[in-house]
Chains A and B, each alone.
Chain A
Amino acid sequence: MKRDFVKFPLHVIFHPFDGFWDMKYERKGKVRVVLTILALLILTLILQKQFSGFLVNFYDPRDLNSLNDIIYTLLPFFLFCVANWSITTLMEGEGKFKEIVMATGYALLPLILLNLPMTFISRIMVSEETAFYYMMNSFAGIWFIYLLFVGIMTVHQYTASKTVITMILTVIAMGIFVFLGTLAISLGAQIWYFIYDIYRELIFRT
């Protein structure tokens, strides 16, 4: 329990090459850990919007919506995993879908570990010190990108340049998915309203 949830994730974020290797070949990664990380990330986002200090909190309280936070965290996450999987199966990647999910999930850990404490530290900051808050936030972001890069590279056994190319292609694929998704939803809505209109027509005629 402690090894799965604490020791191994920390090992991964501090020694990414070694950690991701172990995750893939020693089967040390667990999907339930990834789900926990996602849940904590959502919690971090919600807490950040609600409780970060007045000086750094620019969210309009009327727009806060935890359901949106959940959707806008989970959706990009799985979109990235699916897009990356679709691209890498075509580009001789060795990773399975489960491994992509795990690599992406473990890479998110720094965002929690840095942003959650910073949320509460920001409450005792004055405006000259807020630069430190933003620095830590961007540091967490950079760390996440680095881990994601190493994770994808290790999982698929790619070279660095090929990883960069697949990353770019993944982003493009994500865009295509979103486009197709909206297209399908709007077409579906059209069909639905067509059927619904016919139904109403019949109801009012008889």
Chain B
Amino acid sequence: MILRRIRLSRVACFLEGVETDPLDPGLNILAANNEEGKSTLVRAAARALFDRYSGKSQEIRNLQPAGTDLGPRVTVEFSNGREVFRLEKQFLQSAGSRLYRKNNDKWDLLAEGDKADRRTLELAGGEQPGAGATKPQHWGFLRYLWARQEEPAAWPSWDGNAGGRVRATLARVEVDPVADSLEAALTGRFHECFTPNGQVKRNGPLHALTGELEALEAELAEVAAGRLRLEEQQEAFGRLSEELRVLRGEKERTREEADRLIEAARRAESASREVRTLQKALAEADERLQAVDRDAEKRKRTESEQAANREKTEAAEARVERLQRIRRELEERLARVEREGRGVEQAVRRLKAEQAGVQLRLRIAAARESLAEKKELLEKIEAREAELQAKERDRAGLPRLSGKRLEALRALAGEIRDLKNRLAAAGLAVSVTAAQDRTMETDTPEEGRRSHRLEGGKSADFAAARELVVHLPEWGRIEIRSGAAEVREKQQALETAKENLAAALRELGTERFEDLEVACARARELDADLKNLRQGIGDVLGRFGSADDLRRTVREEEAALGKLLESNAAGDGPDGCDPDELRRRDRENERKRQSLEEEHAAKQREAEQLRRDLTANSRECGEAEGERNRLRTAAVVLETRLKEMAERYGDGGLEEARRRAGREFVQAEARLEEAKRLLPEDWEALPGRRDRAVKAASEAGAEHDRRREALLRMEGEMRQRGSEGLYSREVRLREKIALKREEAGALRRRSGAAGFLATLLGFRKREAFERVLAPLEEQLSVQFGELTGRRERRVFLDENLQVTGVGRDRESGIPFESLSQGAREQLLLALRAAVALELAEEEPQVLILDDVLVNTDPTRQQRVLDFLESLARRVQILVLTCHPDRYRGVGQRLALHPVREDETGTPG
């Protein structure tokens, strides 16, 4: 349907009649300010086309001019591409409807009233609502092709007949609600049992079944394990029973063996005890026999000892007697010799006393002589010592220095002299010649001030080392100085040498070197004299070290002489005899004394010999008496021993005892042999074997009992388990499990299949839509590209033909809601254009744009105009705008013309 002309009267602001220019099949621009009724025009036309003339709803009343109850009147001329129609409709007051068809410049009335409404609705593709006024969804394609100013920037849904038809036309596919429901139902079925991830859903029926199944299977496993264990036990039981049988045999066998060995060991033990007893008896018999033999031997020996003892005793007694006699003789001789010895001794003592007096007097004489000599010597020495002391005193006043030192000083004096000479040679020399005799003075550092007598006409020379002051009478003083360096040095050396020499001399107590040389010569002479004197004294002293030694000796000898004199006074000899006489008497006494002493020594030696003989005799005598006594005692012992033996063996005597003991030994030996014969050969090993066998029997018995015990326990357990009906329990569990498993399996299969089917269905639906959507998306993308100038972008739709996004591909496109307001308007315009173009293939279509693209900036406006012009070649476009400047130069500009009331006519 396209529009040809619209005329209104008594509609809203158009109280008077108004009419558009005839609309162009292409682009029409109706420019007017807001509130001038552009939208009212189109809305009133829509009410006329789609609402019943008899309608009285608020929407219809809204058409009335404000504050009036006038009946709004609308006339619309339109075309379906083949024929042109005219609809005249008046609402409310004098309501009516008439439809005309153009027939060569005149209008043929086609229908009136309801019929006219129905026919119009058919032609316009609208629908009647159940009650009330129509809404956009009843306006057929205009719902999609009329962009209303007040409408939000969203695409209307595709529900309703028109939606379906548009969609069918566009996508050429029916959206199948059954398929949708089926998909939902299948998904629901799947999700009863599974989570979206494909896991079994907790609290779902499958989960419950699986849980029950697991519990049953766990119980079954337990029962089966019990059964298995019983079967294993039964198998083990058979094996163990056989083992037990073997063990029982072993137990009995080992017991018997142990009993046998116990008895054998017991017998062997008793036999061996018997053997031991008999062995002991034999040993005792042997011992007795040997004791008798020993006693016989002993008696024989004792008797022979007794005989020998008797002979020895007699010999010992004879010897004792002889020795005692010799002793008496010796004692007599000794007494005599001792007596004679004592007489000689007394004579010697007397002689000795006499001799001592003579010798004392001799010693006194010698002492007196020696003392006199020494006193003389001492006097001589004391005279020489006095001389020596005088000389030493002289020597002490002279200096003491070594020859070397003197030589050094001498060299120093020589040096000074030398230096003086040199200075005199190198120094100042002044020659003075006076006209007349004169006295003058010089003053030099070397010589000091000196006075000189000058003879007239004769030159006198003066020299000085460095400095020479000449005092000339009546003339004054002339000072002459040398500036030479050598002179200065020598002068200095000279000073130093002088100082050194002076210091040395001071030390030696002299002022001049010449004095020193004289003193030294004198000292040498004195030293030689002293030496000679000392030598002389030494020679005189001789064996005495010193004069003092000599004096001490003199004192000592005086004291010794004093003592000798004292002793003599005490003695009996006279003091002052002739020493030679004394010496002769002394020699006489000596000779007498020697002869007496020899006699005394001979007596003593004889007595000594006699004493030694006496001692030897006494020892021999003691020994002989001891021997005799020992033999006597031994004889008593032997006697006693024999007496004892005779008492011990009594009447039968030793021989009878010997016979008896021999008999007993032979008997004991025979009895032992018999007992040994009765002892088994391996009797010693028997107790060990017996212990082993007992232990083996005990072990075998314990093992058997233990096994039997275990087997009995096992048997009890097996009986218990056997009566538990394990198989039946297992069977019932298996039956339950089979049921549950079947149930769970079926549920799982069904749910899984439902899930898969849902996926498959979704896949096929998507695929179908994608297939039919592709051309529409292509066209939409082209339109949108035209409109925006960005042709690289594609527009994507979903199966409900809603824009899902814009971009390079489906996944990364920008969602519609995220686009800018301007982009959304453009996109919707492109969609409307695409829809219009698709619909225009079958029938011309009008696209009404009521102040859309208000958000489009002026720079894009040119593209919009390009787009609209291009679109207008195939689709009628009615632009309502309050921005006429934006649409200058394009399409046909429509104007509203007032019309008179009568011109509008009145429908019947």
Are chains A and B native binding partners rather than an unrelated pairing? no
**Footprint of B on A, CB under 8 Å?**
none
Interface residues of B (CB under 8 A from A): none
